[in-house]
Structure 1
Amino acid sequence: MLPAYGLYTHVRRNELRSRVLVGILFGLVLVLVYGIDLVVRGASGNLPRGMRPELSSYLSAAAQDLVWLGPLSFVAAFLWLWIAYRVHQAIIDRTVGSAAVGPAEAPRLYRLLENLCISRGIPMPALRIAEDPALNAFATGLNPGQYAVTVTTGLLEALDDREIEAVLAHELTHIRNDDVRTMMIAVVIAGIFAFVAELLLRGGYRPSGNRKGGSVPAVLIGALLIGLVWFLSQLIRFALSRTREYVADAGAVELTKNPDAMITALLKISGRGELAGAPSGVMELCVDNPRSGIADLFATHPSIDDRIAALTRYAAGRAL
């Protein structure tokens, strides 16, 4: 997190960095396809006519296949994104139990969000409430017409108006900085890699023992590439998410002019944000994600303590 005078510069740098990382994700699609082709050719022993059954032949054949498989893989990836574009909100609503609300159903929450949007000239996203005792909130959407902010009932019960306003401002900052669209694209593309890696682990490809004998080294190299692609995609997802939380906290302070409200909101949310029915992709979008990997290597959010320390240092907040 940077001092206030560096916030917009940091946002622009973060946006450029995010585009590069998302571009790398799409590039990894080619590596994935190459790895799959190696596994299939190595397991079946299938080589173009005239090629000797050597490892170099399998590597060369898989590279030649990329000429036509590469474009097809990009078409498939964009088709997958289009499907996510059409149905992602319905899937999220089903998994977390959320539903759209208006001023009649949630006057307090609607008023707070509306006032924030009016004060800054921000288009108002749709508002949704999830029936869950966890203390959390998240924004979703792939374009301005789809953007929505979802808040749990647990958050509404535990936080006062100033704290809820800070959380809403945090999510509005994610929307305003284009974080939501970037993260959702990353989650969808990385999900393809996870799906393929899981299929490989469950399928257990082996050389078929046909007349060409197959190639165990080709299968192993292909499997290694698939595993590497999955690992790198996870690191990219987490790199995208972690830095954005500091910027969103700073943006919340900019919108509300109240760093203490953001600090007390984070303190109340800390350790109480687990949405039991939510997949990992949704948790990555939340204000706080208590799920983490080994030694926090796969943690998608900075720790609450680190975020509070940044607010205290750069936004004149008071750690309570």
Structure 2
Amino acid sequence: MKYVGLQTQIWRNNRNTVILLFMFPVILLGMVFLVILGLDFFGAICDIVEGGCPADHASYTKYGTMHWPEIWHCFKVVIPYTLQIVGVWFIIAYCANTAIIRHATHAKPVERKDNLRVYNIVENLCIAGGIEMPQINIIQDSGMNAFASGIDIPSFTITLTTGLIEKLDDRELSAVVGHELTHIKNRDTRLMVVCIVFVGIFATIQTVSLKLMSAMIHTPRRSSRRDRNSGRADVYLILVLLLVFIWSSIGYVFTWFTRLAISRKREYVADAGGAELCGDPLALASALRKISNDPGLMSVQRNDIAQLYVIHPDEEFDNNMGLKGWVAKANILFCTHPDTPERIRLLEQF
């Protein structure tokens, strides 16, 4: 693995964060534009645009006829609303991400007096690495796992399970803490929160559109004249929801693979940084070997949070199935973490 300097990694993560923040509204606006194109292709745009299409335009009942002035008019109208939705979504994520993670994992904050051993290990490594002292949270779980979270200095947090604290010796625990502190120093946590929000909004749009479409299809209708007159509007709405579902699914897949690629790379860098910070790569290799046997946190049914863990429990289960050859390589493409044996091998050669 090519060595990457700390400042270079921080610069890359900040750059990737800016790129993702820019890509998110662009992709969302692209999805909206494609929905409008789809509506016009199926002859629905003329009924939606105020005043209808001009008389010299082809009939809205003729599929495949594009009305570009009306398409651009609709697109310009929805741009401000789309950008407002993006802004509100990110403000909520920025302000509430720490509370959401703590609530989902049932983590509790820890002070020096509560656990002197853990607090001293974190504090000493922060001093050694010139890293801001993060908050420390502990989860009551017999499994062994840890993760870092937060997007700025006040919200940076390291969370450890009680199983990890009890079952690892000081060398191994220091190595795991060093790994998580490297995530914070490299600003990986900020980048991953943006990725989670990026994927989350497409997943939300996908779910909401599918449920609304299903509800409309299965709602019983009467055969009155009023209901027949509203039938066309219902068909148009179902068509809109179908197009939204299709394009949000494509956006979700694209952003999901982007998140996976970023996540795997950052784990390798954090392993190297953690080994360097604690000065004992073999201790981190030993800790990863122990954690892989019992990563715990199975009660946290949140895959977006699980990608922050030092080892993803579900992915480790897949790795332990003994997949080989092209099947194993294909499986890794769908994982947020690299293969644990490969991480251990690199640390032992560090």
Fold match (TM-score > 0.5):
yes
Distance 1:216 1:176, change over 3 A: same
Q: Which amino acid aligns with 1:141?
A: G
Q: Which amino acid aligns with 2:256?
A: Q
Distance 1:230 1:59, change over 3 A: farther
Q: Is the 8 A contact 2:137 2:159 kept in 1?
A: yes
SS in 1 for 2:136: strand
SS in 1 for 2:154: coil
Q: Which amino acid aligns with 1:276?
A: M
Alignment of 1:102-251 (within 5 A): 102-204=111-213, 209-210=231-232, 214=236, 221-251=243-273
Look up the match of 2:327. none
Look up the match of 2:88. 79
Of residues 290, 304, 307, the one that matches 2:340 is 304
Alignment of 1:27-42 (within 5 A): 27-35=26-34
Look up the match of 2:104. 95
Q: Which amino acid aligns with 1:305?
A: P
Q: Distance in 2 between matches of 1:61 and 1:291?
A: 48
Q: Distance in 2 between matches of 1:248 and 1:128?
A: 20
Distance 1:10 1:175, change over 3 A: closer
Look up the match of 2:284. 262
TM superposition score normalised by structure 2: 0.79
SS in 1 for 2:313: coil
Q: Quote how far apart the aligned CAs of 1:26 are.
A: 3.6
Q: Is the 8 A contact 2:43 2:64 kept in 1?
A: no
> Greater shift after overlay, 202-211 or 185-194?
202-211
Look up the match of 1:318. none
- What percentage of residue pairs aligned between the two structures are identical? 33
Q: Is the 8 A contact 2:275 2:284 kept in 1?
A: yes
Gaps of 5+ in 2: 218-229, 319-329
SS in 2 for 1:77: helix
Q: Are 2:77 and 1:68 equivalent residues in the alignment?
A: yes
* Higher alpha-carbon Rg: 2
Q: Distance in 2 between matches of 1:116 and 1:6?
A: 19
Look up the match of 1:282. 305
User: What value does the CA root-mean-square deviation take over the aligned residues?
Assistant: 3.1
Q: Quote how far apart the aligned CAs of 1:55 are.
A: 3.9
Distance 1:81 1:260, change over 3 A: same
Q: Quote how far apart the aligned CAs of 1:89 are.
A: 2.0
SS in 2 for 1:145: helix
Gaps of 5+ in 1: 316-320
Q: Quote how far apart the aligned CAs of 1:176 are.
A: 0.7
SS in 1 for 2:141: coil
In the TM superposition, what whole-angstrom CA distance separates every residue of 1:126-161 from its partner, at most 9, and x where no partner exists?
A: 111011122111111121111111101111111111
Look up the match of 1:47. 48
Q: Distance in 2 between matches of 1:75 and 1:83?
A: 12
Distance 1:90 1:18, change over 3 A: closer
Look up the match of 1:2. 2
Distance 1:301 1:212, change over 3 A: closer
Q: Distance in 2 between matches of 1:212 and 1:88?
A: 37
Look up the match of 1:295. 331
In the TM superposition, what whole-angstrom CA distance separates every residue of 1:266-292 from its partner, at most 9, and x where no partner exists?
A: 101114224223211111111111334
Q: Is the 8 A contact 1:55 1:218 kept in 2?
A: no
Q: Distance in 2 between matches of 1:215 and 1:84?
A: 30
Q: Distance in 2 between matches of 1:155 and 1:133?
A: 8
Q: Quote how far apart the aligned CAs of 1:261 are.
A: 0.7
Q: Distance in 1 between matches of 2:234 and 2:117?
A: 71
SS in 1 for 2:125: helix
Q: Quote how far apart the aligned CAs of 1:7 are.
A: 6.0
In the TM superposition, what whole-angstrom CA distance separates every residue of 1:35-62 from its partner, at most 9, and x where no partner exists?
A: 5556788697643211632344478755
Q: Distance in 2 between matches of 1:58 and 1:270?
A: 58
Q: Distance in 2 between matches of 1:200 and 1:59?
A: 26
In the TM superposition, what whole-angstrom CA distance separates every residue of 1:176-230 from its partner, at most 9, and x where no partner exists?
A: 1111011111101211100111122222278974289759987755543221011
More contact order relative to length (CA 8 Å, sep ≥ 6): 1
Q: Quote how far apart the aligned CAs of 1:93 are.
A: 1.7
Q: Is the 8 A contact 1:34 1:66 kept in 2?
A: yes
